[in-house]
Structure 1
Amino acid sequence: MRKIVVIPARWGSSRLEGKPLRPLAGKPMIRHVYERCRAAAVDDVVVATDDVRILEAVENFGGRAVLTSPENRSGTDRVADAARILGLLPEDLLVNVQGDQPLIHPRCIDEVLAPFQKESDLAMTTLGFVIQDPREITDPKDVKVVMDARGNALYFSRATIPHVRDRETPCTYIKHLGVYAYTRRFLDIFRDLPTGTLEEIEKLEQLRVLEQGYTLRVVMTSHDSPEVDLPEDIARIEALMQDSSKGE
């Protein structure tokens, strides 16, 4: 059983075109993500892209990349495409780390993989983080998740879930971090599933899994992983990088 991190990175973005190559603290963003993933306990890290400019940029800094189809519906579909290109085995584990998470902690990768060591029939996991910033509770950019008593996802939404009817009722909000782990076997199943109605409404690929009745385990982490979605996020992330380096 091999453990491979695949970083889906596409060129086109309605909010920030060419995002993976945007400079952050003197490096393209994709390099920050790649180097942090290399620090995890995995066998390999591969960037899966639909654009030769990203492919060449990764190869230029010594990374590994594969060119995937531009027709992939989501990042998970792109990871499945990369698994096919790499010729991975059904039991191999793949971790999907978004290409816009330059502050991803290597421990997050270890954490999202951990349940597979104990549960041989597990198909897919993802990460949750207790929201610290009140802004994220209502911001549709930050996806929220609710789980059952066993830690399996019940629903993901850009809306504020759960809704607190009575203000005095205590509530902990969980942010979904865009890190997934799956077996190659389940990725092949996922890729053949039809796009779900809820997936189309919320524009959240993980809802395809729930709509088709599959289990998605949520692993809680103490490490946040803020994403770069908009141009104004770049300065915020660079400031966080500086703060992080001062603490080391």
Structure 2
Amino acid sequence: MIPARYSASRFPGKLMKDLGGKPVITRTYEATVNTKLFDDVIVVTDSDIIYDEITKIGGHVMMSKKEHECGSDRIAEAVENLDIDVVVNVQGDEPFTEVESLEKLIQVFKDDKDKQVDLASLMVHIADWEEIKNPNTVKVIVDKQNFALYFSRSPIPYPRDETVDAKYFKHKGVYAFRKDALMDFYRLPMLTLEASEKIECIRYLEYGKRIKMVETSVQGVEIDTPEDLERAKKLWK
């Protein structure tokens, strides 16, 4: 599922901006389909413009019936009555979606015979202190089994002792959910940590869900700002 909201707060209309001759959302949809990993790929949107664009290229698209705070809610509404086991959320602003990372996510559920994992997500090692400090970069810390302990816009862990060689990981907003966990998320109210940080996956932690983090080396470009779009255009060339 690819949640695709037109009026993004930081960069309105970004999903319809041109990237190498096609809109960003079209590039993301085609990249996801081309992985050949999924039984179906569906764009879920609140926008007639995006709906028409995906329809025009013969893609599978659904309209959200309700207003939603986040992509997980939008997806939950769309899959509520579908007979599925695991659903993967690829963000609409991820045109460089690739096979390797998504395969790793799906493998988590194939290996999880005892169903200990509620959802899985991706993280990338980062070393640039400016990026670590940047509140637009969501950081994650994990336990020894790579289950998420917390997500934050602040640098975590805080380098109180600078002689400790702490590693920092950026959270990439690609998720795979068990349907049950996703529907729980949809029905449970937002609590204070999620509301404070504005990071939706914190809700899962606040309600005791287990998030398995998968390290990937593929950085890609998430298009959150006009500057990101310019970087994406250079990378596309």
TM interval, short-chain normalised = over 0.9
**Using a 3 Å threshold, how does the CA distance of structure 1 residues 102 and 133 change in structure 2: closer, same or farther?**
farther
- Count of residues in correspondence between the two structures: 234
The more displaced of 174-183 and 113-122 is 113-122
The TM-score, its normalising length taken from structure 1, stands at 0.90
Is 2:203 aligned against 1:181? Answer: no
Amino acid at match of 1:53: I
Alignment partner of 1:107 out of 73, 97, 100: 100
Task: Please give the secondary structure, in 1, of the residue aligned with 2:189.
Answer: coil
Partner of 1:18: 13
Of residues 97, 108, 117 in structure 1, which corresponds to 2:110?
A: 117
Q: What's the offset of the Cα at 1:234?
A: 1.1
Q: Does the aligned pair in 2 maintain the 1:105–1:225 contact within 8 Å?
A: no
Q: How do residues 32-47 of structure 1 correspond to structure 2 at under 5 angstroms?
A: 32-40=27-35, 41-47=37-43
Q: Could you tell me the TM-score, scaled by structure 2's length?
A: 0.94
Q: How does 1:126-141 map to 2 (within 5 A)?
A: 126-141=121-136
Tell me what 1:236 maps to.
231
Residue 49 (1) aligns with residue 45 (2): yes
Deviation by residue 1:63-100 (Cα, 9 ceiling, x = unmatched): 1100013422210111111112xx322x5211001111
TM superposition shift of 1:132: 4.7
CA distance in 2, matches of 1:239, 1:132: 23
Q: 1:168, CA displacement in angstroms? A: 2.1
* Identical positions, percent: 39
C-alpha contact 2:124 2:172 (8 A) present in aligned 1: yes
- Of 232-241 and 151-160, deviating more is 232-241
1:59 aligns with 2:52: no
Could you say which residue in structure 2 is the equivalent of 1:97? 90
Inter-partner Cα distance in structure 2 for 1:135 and 1:240 = 21
Matches within 5 A, 1:167-206: 167-206=162-201
Deviation at 1:208, TM superposition (A): 0.4
In 2, Cα distance between the equivalents of 1:78 and 1:235? 28
Offset at 1:177? 0.2
Q: Deviations over 1:34-78 (max 9, x none)?
A: 111112211111100011111111111221100013422210111
Structure 2: distance between partners of 1:207 and 1:58: 31
Question: SS of the counterpart of 1:44?
Answer: coil
Equivalent residues of 1:37, 1:109 under 8 A apart? no
Root-mean-square deviation (CA), in Å?
A: 1.3
Per-residue deviation, residues 216-247 of structure 1 (Å, max 9, x unmatched): 111111211321111122111111222xxxxx
Query: Which whole-Å CA distance do the structure 1 matches of 2:128 and 2:232 have between them?
Result: 15
**How many Å separate the matches in 2 of 1:145 and 1:19?**
26
Matches within 5 A, 1:147-226: 147-226=142-221
In the TM superposition, structure 1's runs of 4+ consecutive aligned residues that sit over 6 Å from their partners are none
